[in-house]
Structure 1
Amino acid sequence: MDFTMKLRKLSKSRLNRPSPSSSKAKLNNKKVASKPKRCVCLPKDFAVTEFPRVWNDLRLHQQLCDGFIHTGENKTFCIHRAILSAASSYFKTLFTNALHKGQPEIYELTLQLPNHIVECILDYAYTGRCNITSDNVQMLLPAADQYEIVGIIQQCCQFLLEELRPSNCLGILRFAHHYFCRELENKGRRYVLYNFKKILRESLEFKDLLPEELEIILKDDELNIRNEETVFEAIMQWVEADAEGRKHHLGSLIHCARYGLMSFKFFTDVVMNNRHIQASPELQQMLYSASVFLVELDSKLSSDIDLNDPIARPRIPYEILFAVGGWSAGSPTNFVETYDTRSDRWFLSMNTDATPRAYHGLCMLDKLIYMIGGFDGNKHFNSVRCYNPISKEWKERACMYNARCYVSIYIVGGFNGTEVLSSAEVFDPVPQQWTFIHSMSSARSGVSLISHKDCLYALGGFNGVTRLNTGNFIFAGERYDPNQSPSWREIAEMFSPRSNFATAVLDEMIFVIGQTTIAYVECYDVVSNEWYDASPMNLNRSALNACVLTGLSNAKDYSYLSKVHEIGQGGSSDCPNN
């Protein structure tokens, strides 16, 4: 759906907002003091209401009708004024003459709307629902807004929310803003921020954004981008759509990018060599402080960035990594650490579970974290604990029948009491059977297993002689791609040997987390087949587990920006790893 052009056509008619005409009475024009409009578009308890069936039966058989609606296309509908009054405060005021007491009641009115829109309004009034489609929603929502039919407004907004796509979300966002649908606007804006890279690739609406609309999006802390180079590229993509008409907006848009988080090479080769910047001494002067910042950073032996400098202010991450429990200093822990990938910082949280444990399972479902089973050094657990990252509370859930640890679906490697294994099995939940797949090239216990992009990765582990990461003939990990080959294939080596550690996919990278003797964290790029350093955790831990939650409404609480603010206020309960 393309909402941009049609919205421009509708906006003029809405500003005038004509009153319905009547064949038997006319309402006097009267100015009423405007009040702030309360948003009703997406209530938390939204549900389609079923109206009494007899109402529609009476309508279809034209029985007990006491009024008429004429359309702009010269069609007449027989109606029941009481039923329309129940659906719309506007119609109630009109039909009961609430503004003109003592005057004869109105029985007829004309709505300057197409027949199919009037039919939708009547369908809702008599049944509680109407057929909303991508073809009629752009006319139906303004009509429902004009005639104060709250139920249709809610159903239209719910429809638009479900229709959000990278190709149409910018038009829906503008549409919601124009018609004061604040909840839809807020959710639409979050969708735009979270899917910004897809929008750049797929949306034809992007080039039609107003400069102030683009600036609001690009300045937002929640803009979901892996690097600031994307922001500069977006600015230039928008400008080049109409270079002569838009290049004068660069003065305000150029500040949307956080240049301190860019690579020095991109800044010098791309930003400063841009033709519009080359032609403008004013723009070059605006970027001078960024140039100094990056030159100083490039000359330092350490690559640490001063994140308190506004030019290097990190965005709020869309994905938050949670590392829970594990074995540390000879005993199990109940510590929780979260990782902010935008600032490359770990934070030690005090929102810990009451029971320390290791070798447990961890999974995410409906933005909740479930911790399953585990071991505390003496006892194996059958309990299930649930963490709500919004309320920051742990709660007990229904326990399993059996105590267990080392929870998994696929199973690879391991130790059978005699030897370290290289075999691999998969569980099919339909016939409820385990089936062997091709064995790994290396025997491993304490191996970490993770799936990413339709492949299975077995990383690290112990072969009975040494922990697997390097060596003349042993590789750190292997990849199993059932679509390409039945065999496991070796991948690049990790920097450090590991076993009994956690893995998680974050920002399209595989992170390996934990090991008894190190807090060192690495991440693997499956495309380039390379490993990179990440910031270390606060604690050395093994036998921990980790999972990633996306799109949390309070993601800022787990971000560097929030932690720095708390520390500045002297009230932080979470400790950052600097």
Structure 2
Amino acid sequence: MSLHNKLCMRQQLCDTVIRVDGSEFYVHKVVLCKCSPYFRALFSHWSAPDCVTFDIPGVSTSLMCLIVEFAYTGNVLLTGQNALDLFVVADRYNMTGLLQACSDYLEKQLNPQNCLSIWMLTDTFYHPELREKSELYTLSHFKEVVDTCADFLQLSAQQLVQIIESDLLIVKQEKTVFKAILKWIAHAPKERKTYSSLLFSKIRLAWMSPKYLIEHVNESELVKTNPECRAMLFQTLNPILDHMSRTSYRSFVCPSLAIPRVPPALLLAIGGWTDGSPTSLIEAYDARSDRWIDVAYTTETIRAYHGAVFFNGSIYCVGGFDSIEQFSAVHRLDLTSHNWEEVSPMHVSRCFVSVTVMNDYIYALGGYNGQERLNTAERYDPKCNQWTIISSMHEQRSDASCATLHSRVYICGGFNGIQCLSTAECYNPDEDQWTLIANMSSRRSGVGVAAYADYIFAVGGFDGVSRLNTTEAYNPSTNTWCSVPSMPTARSNFGISVMNDSLFVVGGFGGITTIPNVEFYDIKTNMWLSANDMKTSRSALSCCVVNGLSNMAIYAAALKSMQRQHLPTEEEDEMEQ
């Protein structure tokens, strides 16, 4: 406790009294002046020199206790009950330190239920940093905000426009914006119908499927009763229907209705083997626009047969092969700064390595060190930049694949130097123990493994004779595998990731050559569908999904100059419903 604070507590050498709501606070002028220009002006300019007692209106006793505590200690106990009120008072009395403390606290407490109240608060009390953070949170969690936040229905028309017209608004489907407008208008239809045209013009209509536009938007009361909305709909729909045979029909739509928004997530395809050699290429895929974008910050090292994971805003590239050397090296790409750095290497070199993230650790399992297939495993702690050896697996596994489900790591298939494997095993980090689980129905090396819909999926691979298109799923609660519809294309050594509630497979080796094509499986429809091909055909790549980045807008900017090449099929339209 500081000397000033001790003196204040004992009311020693105090030279002024702050009176609030019947309570008195004995304080030192110099302390309050140091943290607030308001008190400095009050004591030196707005009162007589001999004035000792000052009445402060509009502040509760409990809040003044916190203000005095902060003035003397630089610290304050913030809670969900007092932070907003204290923010207002700190702004009123120009206590920048306390205002920043409140802002930092409110930023950490942002959730779909309070983000709008915090954002609207900054309309009255100027704090651009908190305003930006609360607005970005709202844009990133828009559907949850619409569904759960009571303040959504209290937005003004201008505030709602500001949100839905933003390129930074993240929605998986544009119909979310349409439904939000209907909900907002329905809350007070008499007053709000006058804003129908303004709000409707902010919907990116060209990013809805033609079927949804016809069956839902066209049949809504909003469009039926408003000629301007109906004209905007036809301005979008007619060119689409007239040019359905073309691969870029959105180029015929009014630009303001066809600009893509920021993608909610991106699938990165990193490195791999193409044209007889490894590559450093990174491509990013946006599922909503079905487009691949070349990423400028290529990998620092050309590599194939490596692992890549997204963790805490960074991509980690683990191990791999450059056609000469097997790597133990690990490189980290900060997706905000776009800077690469080499972090601590693994204990051993590993190409054909299996990599996953679980409970804030990165796991590297098995692989090939240039001499033998490995059963060893290790994990990396990014906080202390250190790899630790964990228990070895039951099998030597190179060219296997792994995934995390319910705080367990599952690894399936691979090659042990003699044969392709159908075995699989599970790691329990609490016991540092591997347990063999039920065998897959097929031997699979170069397999893709992913956790999806509470199952472990094993997709494709090589059985020692041919490339596979078969898929099976493991249920941990029953220790059984079940068959799943086969993907259209047989492949091994491909990228695999889950994005937007779908299981994506990317590239790979088809038996004769590398392939660029991309397919995805939706468990709700039990169907595989085709997506747009990568620009570069490659195998031995690694894929991971990134989201929650503060700079996702750079990808939207890249997409603005592109038009979607892949038209939605009838099956995809059904999925969108």
Considering fraction of residues, name the structure with more strand. 2
Question: Which residues of 2 match residues 545-560 of structure 1 at below 5 A?
Answer: 545-559=542-556
Question: Which residues of 2 match residues 192-341 of structure 1 at below 5 A?
Answer: 192-297=138-243, 299-300=244-245, 302=247, 305-306=250-251, 309-341=255-287
Aligned-CA RMSD value: 2.3
Displacement of 1:332:
1.1
Change (3 A) 1:439 1:106: farther
2:337 maps to 391
Question: Which residues of 2 match residues 124-163 of structure 1 at below 5 A?
Answer: 124-163=70-109
1:34 maps to none
1:169 maps to 115
Contact map agreement 2:201 2:257 (CA 8 A) in 1: no
SS of equivalent residue, structure 1 residue 549: strand
2:136 maps to 190
SS of equivalent residue, structure 2 residue 348: coil
Quick one: distance in 1 between partners of 2:489 and 2:246?
23
Cα offsets for 1:70-97 (capped at 9, x unmatched): 11x2111111111111121211222233
Cα offsets for 1:159-214 (capped at 9, x unmatched): 21122111121111101232111111101111111111111221121111111111
Quick one: distance in 1 between partners of 2:222 and 2:164?
19
1:54 maps to 3
Structure 1 stretches of 4+ with a deviation exceeding 4 A read 301-304
Contact map agreement 2:259 2:560 (CA 8 A) in 1: no
Residue 493 of structure 1: which of 456, 481, 486 is its match? 486
Change (3 A) 1:353 1:503: same
Contact map agreement 1:455 1:479 (CA 8 A) in 2: yes
Quick one: distance in 2 between partners of 1:74 and 1:354?
67
Quick one: distance in 2 between partners of 1:139 and 1:431?
48
Quick one: distance in 1 between partners of 2:252 and 2:462?
39
Cα offsets for 1:518-546 (capped at 9, x unmatched): 10011122322222221110111111001
2:500 maps to 507
Displacement of 1:277:
2.2
Residue 354 of structure 2: which of 407, 412, 415 is its match? 407
Change (3 A) 1:455 1:107: farther
Change (3 A) 1:348 1:291: closer
Displacement of 1:131:
2.4
Percent sequence identity is 36
Cα offsets for 1:245-267 (capped at 9, x unmatched): 21111020111111111111211
Contact map agreement 2:239 2:249 (CA 8 A) in 1: no
Quick one: distance in 1 between partners of 2:323 and 2:234?
58
Question: Which residues of 2 match residues 364-513 of structure 1 at below 5 A?
Answer: 364-405=310-351, 406-408=353-355, 409-469=409-469, 476-483=470-477, 485-513=478-506
Quick one: distance in 2 between partners of 1:530 and 1:304?
26
Pairing 1:107–2:52 present: yes
Q: Which amino acid aligns with 1:562?
A: A
Pairing 1:179–2:109 present: no
Change (3 A) 1:413 1:371: same
Contact map agreement 1:458 1:478 (CA 8 A) in 2: yes
2:42 maps to 94
1:69 maps to 18
SS of equivalent residue, structure 1 residue 410: strand
Change (3 A) 1:564 1:238: closer
Quick one: distance in 2 between partners of 1:177 and 1:505?
39
Displacement of 1:139:
2.3
Q: Which amino acid aligns with 2:56?
A: L
SS of equivalent residue, structure 1 residue 266: helix
Contact map agreement 1:95 1:107 (CA 8 A) in 2: no
1:13 maps to none
Q: Which amino acid aligns with 2:128?
A: R
Displacement of 1:276:
3.2
Quick one: distance in 2 between partners of 1:447 and 1:306?
39
Quick one: distance in 2 between partners of 1:126 and 1:504?
53
Contact map agreement 1:193 1:223 (CA 8 A) in 2: yes
Q: Which amino acid aligns with 1:76?
A: E
Contact map agreement 2:272 2:538 (CA 8 A) in 1: yes
Change (3 A) 1:522 1:228: same
Q: Which amino acid aligns with 1:447?
A: V
Contact map agreement 1:258 1:313 (CA 8 A) in 2: yes
Quick one: distance in 1 between partners of 2:506 and 2:252?
24
Quick one: distance in 2 between partners of 1:415 and 1:361?
16
Unaligned runs of 5+ in 2: 356-408, 568-577
Residue 524 of structure 1: which of 521, 531, 535 is its match? 521
Contact map agreement 1:521 1:536 (CA 8 A) in 2: yes
Quick one: distance in 2 between partners of 1:276 and 1:340?
31
Pairing 1:84–2:84 present: no
SS of equivalent residue, structure 1 residue 233: helix
Q: Which amino acid aligns with 1:126?
A: Y
How high is the TM-score relative to the length of structure 1? 0.83
Displacement of 1:230:
1.3
Quick one: distance in 2 between partners of 1:281 and 1:354?
56
Quick one: distance in 2 between partners of 1:558 and 1:498?
29
How high is the TM-score relative to the length of structure 2? 0.83
Cα offsets for 1:364-421 (capped at 9, x unmatched): 2221111111112221111111112233232222212210122235321122233322
Displacement of 1:105:
5.0
Quick one: distance in 1 between partners of 2:342 and 2:282?
17
Q: Which amino acid aligns with 2:354?
A: V
Q: Which amino acid aligns with 1:145?
A: D
Contact map agreement 1:510 1:523 (CA 8 A) in 2: yes
Quick one: distance in 1 between partners of 2:551 and 2:157?
28
2:574 maps to none
Q: Which amino acid aligns with 2:473?
A: R
Cα offsets for 1:208-253 (capped at 9, x unmatched): 1111111111111111111211111111111111112211110201
Q: Which amino acid aligns with 1:328?
A: T
1:32 maps to none
Contact map agreement 2:260 2:559 (CA 8 A) in 1: no
Displacement of 1:302:
4.5
Change (3 A) 1:301 1:348: closer
Change (3 A) 1:564 1:175: closer
Quick one: distance in 1 between partners of 2:115 and 2:295?
36
Quick one: distance in 2 between partners of 1:334 and 1:532?
28
Change (3 A) 1:402 1:347: same
Q: Which amino acid aligns with 1:491?
A: V
Change (3 A) 1:161 1:453: farther
Displacement of 1:304:
5.5
Change (3 A) 1:401 1:242: same
Contact map agreement 1:323 1:545 (CA 8 A) in 2: yes
Count residues in correspondence. 506
Contact map agreement 1:522 1:532 (CA 8 A) in 2: yes
